[in-house]
Amino acid sequence: MKLYSETTGSGAELVLIHGWGMNAAVWSPLMEHLTVDHRVTVIELPGHGGSEYDANEASLDAWADACLEAAPERAIWVSWSLGGQVAQRAAVMAPQRIEKLALVASTPSFVQREDWPHAMDHDTLGSFAQALVKTPAQTLERFLSLQVRGDEEARHTLRLLRQELTERPEAEPMALEHGLDLLLNVDLRDQLASISCPVLWLLGERDTLVPVGVADELEILQPGADILVLGGCAHAPFLSHTEKSLRALAGFIG
């Protein structure tokens, strides 16, 4: 799969990867600041925005490999939500390619499992997968609303998400379906110890998709990682609280 990517700025290499159903436009509010000191490459996930999609390559490994092919030889990766799971797997598959890893509102498992309570209920996320087949546009809108629920700036953030969704080509239905399958089934907890680069988990205090209680579990699974909780934020902190998110990222990526 050939993925869409675009590079701007100069300096240290930095990769940005968005989440399920979205596209590279979500990073727009950060670009002016990040490109001052970094050469920023935004990558669109398989079947999202301008990226191609091969339905025969629906595994997390295939998505991670496609992102690695589109990324610079070595870079700092900042990845959001499902993009964070893709980046986690990429860091295990090709540790020499990722200098640092900032995971924004992401988790090794998005659904609740045994000894993993701080996640979404399986049936709740599963209902999105079922509805996606019948009413894709409405389902995506519901997912956008879920991402901002509880945020101090919910209305503003939802407006930004809707706007940015229209700035790039629509995601392919099969890619959306397979992406939801990844959200439902991927569990990377046993792989976190294999990630050798510095890691930052940037969590939203009010996130309903990645409940903040997951921070305690991450401390156990990855004791060397930095974990930072942004107050008042839900699932898209870099949109609702851009300056706060930039400060947090700057402290980690330099």
Where in the sequence numbering do the catalytic residues fall? 81, 207, 235
Q: How many domains, in total, are found in the chain?
A: 1
The pLDDT, as a whole number, for residue 6 is 97
Closest to 81 in 3D by CA, of 203, 240, 169: 203
Q: Is the CB of residue 42 less than 8 Å from the CB of residue 6?
A: yes
The pLDDT, as a whole number, for residue 112 is 96
Give strand pairing partners of 17.
43, 79
The pLDDT, as a whole number, for residue 126 is 86
Position 124 pLDDT exceeds 90: no
The pLDDT, as a whole number, for residue 49 is 97
Position 128 pLDDT exceeds 90: no
The pLDDT, as a whole number, for residue 137 is 86
- Average the pLDDT over 200-205 and give the result: 98
Position 133 pLDDT exceeds 80: no
Average pLDDT value for the chain: 95
The pLDDT, as a whole number, for residue 125 is 87
The tens digit of pLDDT for each residue in 64-119 reads: 999 999 999 999 999 999 999 999 999 999 999 999 999 999 999 999 998 999 99
pLDDT band at 187 (very low <50, low <70, confident <90, very high): very high
Tell me if 201 is assigned to a ligand binding site. Answer: no
Tell me if 147 is assigned to a ligand binding site. Answer: yes
Tell me if 51 is assigned to a ligand binding site. Answer: no
Alpha helix segments (H runs only) across 9-134: 28-34, 60-70, 82-93, 122-134
Tell me if 82 is assigned to a ligand binding site. Answer: yes
Residue 147's domain comprises: 5-253
Task: Give the C-alpha separation, 76 to 112, whole Å.
Answer: 29
- Average the pLDDT over 176-195 and give the result: 96
- pTM value is 0.96
Phi first, then psi: give them for residue 176, nearest 5 degrees: -65, -45
The pLDDT, as a whole number, for residue 19 is 97
Closest to 164 in 3D by CA, of 5, 69, 30, 41: 30
Position 160 pLDDT exceeds 80: yes
Tell me if 118 is assigned to a ligand binding site. Answer: no
Q: Is the CB of residue 187 less than 8 Å from the CB of residue 213?
A: no
Q: Is the CB of residue 60 less than 8 Å from the CB of residue 88?
A: no
What percent of the chain stands above pLDDT 70?
100
Tell me if 28 is assigned to a ligand binding site. Answer: no
The pLDDT, as a whole number, for residue 129 is 81
pLDDT band at 134 (very low <50, low <70, confident <90, very high): confident
- Average the pLDDT over 49-60 and give the result: 96
Give strand pairing partners of 183.
none
If one counts every other C-beta atom within 10 angstroms of the C-beta of residue 8, the result is: 12
CATH code, domain carrying 132:
3.40.50.1820
